[in-house]
Amino acid sequence: MEEGMILSQIKQVFDCGKQDIRTYSPLTLAYIGDGVYELIIRTVVVERANRNVNDLNRIAVRYVKASAQAGIIEALQPFLTEEEAEVYKRGRNAKPHSAAKNASLSDYHKATGFEALIGYLYLTDRTDRVLELVKKGVEAAGMSI
């Protein structure tokens, strides 16, 4: 698959202008990263088995909840580049406008950093790296989809 194909197609079809990603807040990166990560997890869950929607959701939630994302990013730390680690830290240290639901504050901040990293990589057309990190992180955290 061509690197960044989905992002390029979205930008072309919807006539999106060129943005300077360095101006995006870490919470903006986390916002798009949350959607990208959830799409990856939902795609894998659906591709693994045709089940009823409640079962699909129950399985997916195990991977997208803050505590799971915190475990994934902790397992990924040794594999991150300096640039990736910096983006993660910016996201982790951001001050969210909402409170953590069903998660510790620490896990919530780590999950926000993880989502910011995923969003950053996605918006910089590094889909291959997103998929590599998600796969490696899920495996390194002792989870299997």
Q: How confident is the model over 67-113, as pLDDT tens digits? A: 999 999 999 999 999 999 999 999 999 987 776 778 899 999 999 99
- Residue 6 falls within a domain, yes or no? no
Q: What is the DSSP string of 48-69?
A: H----HHHHHHHHHHHHSHHHH
- pLDDT tens-digit readout, 46-70: 999 889 999 999 999 999 999 999 9
Other beta carbons less than 10 A from residue 62's beta carbon: 13
Annotated catalytic residue: which of 15, 20, 34, 55?
Answer: 34
Q: What integer pLDDT is reported at residue 8 of this predicted model? A: 85
55 has catalytic annotation: no
Report how far residue 58's alpha carbon sits from residue 116's, in angstroms, rounded to the nearest whole number: 24
- Residue 3 falls within a domain, yes or no? no
Tell me the CATH number at 130.
Answer: 1.10.1520.10
- Residue 11 falls within a domain, yes or no? no
Q: What are phi and psi of 15, to 5 degrees?
A: 50, 50
Q: What is the mean pLDDT of residues 18-22?
A: 86
- Residue 25 falls within a domain, yes or no? yes
- Residue 32 falls within a domain, yes or no? yes
Domain count across the chain: 1
- Residue 12 falls within a domain, yes or no? no
- Residue 123 falls within a domain, yes or no? yes
Domain containing residue 37: 19-140
- Residue 2 falls within a domain, yes or no? no
